[in-house]
Amino acid sequence: MRKRKGVKKSRNFLVSILDTWQYFNQDIPQKIEKSIVQEKLKQERKIKLGPRMTNKEDVFSPKEIAILSELVTNPRKSYIDIAKQLGLSRQTVKKKIEMMKQHSKIQFFVGVNYQKLNLDLVFLKLLFNNLKDLNELYNDLQSCPRVFNISKNIAQNSLMTLFGIEKSYGGNHNNQMVCMIEKFQLDTRVKECTVVSIHPEMYPIYLVFSPKHLIFNDDSSALGTSCCATRCGSNCENYINSKCPGCPCLGEYEREIFKII
């Protein structure tokens, strides 16, 4: 009889534990269903809007946006002036700007008024047979001092490129443009080259000048390293026939256009 009572007590104890567990976990099916619904909504949102940016380095905080709004009106505004305007400390403003620069969120540069340059601006559209050739020439053109802007159109396998050409060189300002088009037409990677616009009206009117636009190499040992892989002095008929002043990145370049600033 004692054994039976002990067994009965242990069973009652186990039943009470099971009842307690069930009581505290009775909402598990609802939690599972809720998590499934949330995951489904998350996937739908990701398809519609793309992945959510959770890294602070990839998004602008409200303070950063407020600081940017001040910098846009005057990029030379001091930390103190921005801090007073926003009710922040000078140190906070400085730290935020330095962090944005460090994470490549912003960059300060010199914008040059293209209307003051002694250059004609030409938009060229380049079509390619495949994406490999497009990406290859896209990378090559980035080193060209005359290229101010390049944009890809993957859907059409094309590049839109903004070139700067010296005005009235050799008595005919169209010579360099013709030479440039011929250069692309002879490039096996390019399917078609067309002039989209000449002397474009652009907004904003300030072009971004990078160091490559100001390169002028007087070292004769560097000759022959132009972006078009042609040594102007001896191998280029356009240069010999005074149709092109040469590449600004070579010592044989005859003009000072790209050194004006």
pLDDT at 256: 57
Write out pLDDT tens, residues 107-155.
888 888 888 877 788 899 999 999 999 999 999 888 787 888 899 998 8
Decide which of 184, 208, 232 is a domain's last residue: 208
Whether 116 and 197 map to the same domain: the answer is: yes
Tell whether 82 is covered by a domain.
Answer: yes
Whether 140 and 200 map to the same domain: the answer is: yes
pLDDT at 71: 92
Whether 97 and 184 map to the same domain: the answer is: no
Whether 174 and 142 map to the same domain: the answer is: yes
pLDDT at 246: 72
**What are phi and psi for residue 77, nearest 5 degrees?**
-65, 135
H or E stretch covering 119 = strand 119-128
pLDDT at 220: 41
Whether 193 and 130 map to the same domain: the answer is: yes
How many whole angstroms separate alpha carbon 183 and alpha carbon 177?
Answer: 10
Whether 152 and 199 map to the same domain: the answer is: yes
Whether 121 and 192 map to the same domain: the answer is: yes
Which CATH number belongs to the domain containing residue 158 in this structure? Answer: 3.30.70.920
Which CATH number belongs to the domain containing residue 98 in this structure? Answer: 1.10.10
How many whole angstroms separate alpha carbon 227 and alpha carbon 250?
Answer: 10
Are 80 and 67 in contact by the 8 Å Cβ rule? The answer is no
pLDDT at 142: 85
> Which residues of the chain are modeled with pLDDT < 70?
1-11, 13-15, 24, 48-56, 168-175, 210-235, 248-261
Per-position DSSP letters for 139-180, written without gaps between them: HHHTT-TTEEEEEEEGGGTEEEEEEEEETTGGG-TTHHHHHH
Whether 77 and 146 map to the same domain: the answer is: no
H or E stretch covering 196 = strand 190-198
Are 126 and 184 in contact by the 8 Å Cβ rule? The answer is yes
Whether 177 and 194 map to the same domain: the answer is: yes
Q: Name the domain count of the chain.
A: 3
pLDDT at 37: 83
Tell whether 91 is covered by a domain.
Answer: yes
Whether 77 and 92 map to the same domain: the answer is: yes
Whether 119 and 168 map to the same domain: the answer is: yes
pLDDT at 251: 59
How many whole angstroms separate alpha carbon 221 and alpha carbon 208?
Answer: 29
Tell whether 145 is covered by a domain.
Answer: yes
Burial of 52 (0-12, 13-18, 19+ CB in 10 A): exposed
Q: pTM higher than 0.95, yes or no?
A: no
pLDDT at 97: 94
Whether 166 and 240 map to the same domain: the answer is: no
Domain that holds residue 138: 112-208
